[in-house]
Amino acid sequence: MRTSLIALSVALLMPISVMAQDTDTTTEDATDAPGAGTSIEDQLSLGEDASAPQVGQTYTAETLGDWELRCIKGEEGQEEPCQMYQLMQDAEGTPVAEISIFRLPEGGRAMAGATIIVPLETSLTQQLTLEIDGGQARRYPYAFCNPIGCYSRVGLVAEEVAQFRRGANAKLTIVPALAPDQKVELNMSLNGFTAAFEKTSVAQF
């Protein structure tokens, strides 16, 4: 065993020119080896931008007013699905809820859909309400909860989308589970809504 280890150490330290004593045999073997015929540079990786999104990851492609256009990175040349997104804050500036909006195929009652996520400590029975520029409020139920929060799946008809387009602000109201006599009002800016909506993908089901 000691003799084998010594022999291996010597072999590892030997210059390439010494190890390649039989030129004809070495040349023949090298022709069959992977990467034969390529330069050393061709076999080196030049790396890639570590901040660039990987395939399947969600990233912010563009910011339009107070909305982010969030897309899922696809393969080269593949169309990437995108939704418009906004994080909503309370009166103290604390992030509380978030909304993602996507367009729907033509032919249905709803022109667009929205997913609203609120904290787990929200009263589900009180539901949530949404109003645009102080107009008539509409109430929506919660669909389910997971460790991230509780979700409401909202359908928006053409008239409501038009209100969002020409509006300035929308108000989302939720009720805390531990304080059912109180309400938390969240402002949703409509600045940039039209531009972001035009770039939002049609959801495929």
Per-residue model confidence as pLDDT tens for the chain (205 residues):
444 433 433 333 333 333 444 444 444 454 455 555 578 878 887 766 666 667 778 899 999 999 999 999 877 767 789 999 999 998 888 999 999 999 999 999 999 999 999 999 999 999 999 999 989 999 999 999 999 999 999 999 999 999 999 999 999 999 999 999 999 999 999 999 999 999 999 987 6
Instruction: For residues 121 and 96, give the distance between their C-alpha atoms in angstroms, rounded to a whole number.
Output: 11
Q: Which runs of E-coded beta strand occur in 19-91? A: 58-64, 67-72, 82-89
Instruction: For residues 168 and 82, give the distance between their C-alpha atoms in angstroms, rounded to a whole number.
Output: 23
Whole-prediction pTM = 0.73
Domains, the chain, ordered by start: 2-32 (no CATH), 83-198 (2.60.40.1880)
